[in-house]
């Protein structure tokens, strides 16, 4: 019998022992613990702490007013994004150029 086969059989025997031990513990717990009594759902006993949103003709106007407060001009946003991208590009190019200069100065041969 090969070593691999012996090892697999040994592992199988260990797994069977573990399953038997688990089955014994499950049976013991089933005998020891009585079934819990039925309870009322937890959600039914919780009272809401937030009042529901207003519903009616003014509800839409209130929502629009809140959204308008945080809304920004799309063209201004587009300009800011372009400006930021250009800034990152030139900063990265400058750092790359500084890195090349440092590499050249440190590794040049006299």
* 21-68 pLDDT per residue, tens: 999 999 998 888 776 666 666 555 666 566 655 566 666 778 888 888
User: What is 4-62 written as a DSSP string?
Assistant: HHHHHHHHHHHHHHHHHHHHHHHHHHHHHSPPPPP---HHHHPPPSSPPPP-SHHHHHH
Lowest mean pLDDT among 16-20, 55-59, 79-83, 90-94: 55-59
Residues 87, 77: Cα–Cα separation, whole Å: 15
pLDDT in the model for residue 6: 92
* Average pLDDT of the chain to the nearest whole number: 84
């Amino acid at each position: 019998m090969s070593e691999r086969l012996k090892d697999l059989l040994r592992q199988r025997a260990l797994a069977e022992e573990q399953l038997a031990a688990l089955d014994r513990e499950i049976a013991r717990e089933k005998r020891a613990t009585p079934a819990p009594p039925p309870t009322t759902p937890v959600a039914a006993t919780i009272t809401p702490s937030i009042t529901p949103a207003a519903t009616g003709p003014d509800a839409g106007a209130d929502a629009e007013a809140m959204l308008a407060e945080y809304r920004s001009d799309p063209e201004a946003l587009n300009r800011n994004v372009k400006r930021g991208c250009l800034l990152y590009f030139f900063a990265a190019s400058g750092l790359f150029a500084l890195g090349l200069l440092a590499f050249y100065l440190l590794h040049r041969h006299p």
